[in-house]
Amino acid sequence: MPRIAVYPGSFDPITNGHLDIVRRARRLFDRVILTVAANSSKSSTFSVAERVRLAKACVAGLGGVEVDTFDGLLVDYLRRKGSRVIIRGVRAVSDMEYEFQMASMNRAIYPEVESVFLMPDERYTYLSSSIIKEVARMGAHVEDYLPVPVLAAVKRRFARRKRK
């Protein structure tokens, strides 16, 4: 039976840090599903369709990785996909309190689920989509932190906002 892991997130936008976690997870699992949350409580810069398209472009060369979207409870999505593993990237100790709460709630709802926490490469420990968007909005250099398809989309999005 294949070991399937689900890596959920808003991915608004997907960064090199996210891709680093995908690659690390892929070494541990037969299949990794990067799934874009459609019901994120965060206000999004990119639509769900745009985030899915960008994520697909970024993982196109990675075997055993697919991109999907979900709405509703993550554990319901895991059951539908035949997975019992949630991948989460943890950058710093400060991430752990929230992640621990989420892992505990997911396990309460779906006792068979395991949350696997992966640390990104040190180059990405301070990186988040929110920081990238803020820096890009101000016109600063973000080339080292975004995959090429995402970089182009971010530049287009914030160039439009500057013209308004």
Per the annotation, the verdict on 56 as an active-site residue is no
Look up tokens 């995908």; give the residue: 22
Catalytic residue of the set 42, 123, 130, 161: 42
Catalytic residue of the set 10, 83, 129, 133: 129
Per the annotation, the verdict on 42 as an active-site residue is yes
Query: Are the C-beta atoms of 74 and 33 separated by less than 8 Å?
Result: no
Look up tokens 């459609």; give the residue: 38
Per the annotation, the verdict on 18 as an active-site residue is yes
Catalytic residue of the set 18, 24, 26, 133: 18
The CA radius of gyration of the chain, in Å to the nearest whole number, is: 16
Catalytic residue of the set 79, 81, 91, 155: 91
* Encoded tokens for 52: 């899915």
Per the annotation, the verdict on 141 as an active-site residue is no
Sheet architecture: strand order including 85-89: 65-70, 31-37, 4-9, 85-89, 114-118
Burial of 110 (0-12, 13-18, 19+ CB in 10 A): middle
Residues 6 or more apart from 88 whose CB is under 8 A from it? Answer: 7, 99, 102, 103, 115, 116, 117, 118
Q: Which residues are catalytic?
A: 18, 42, 91, 129
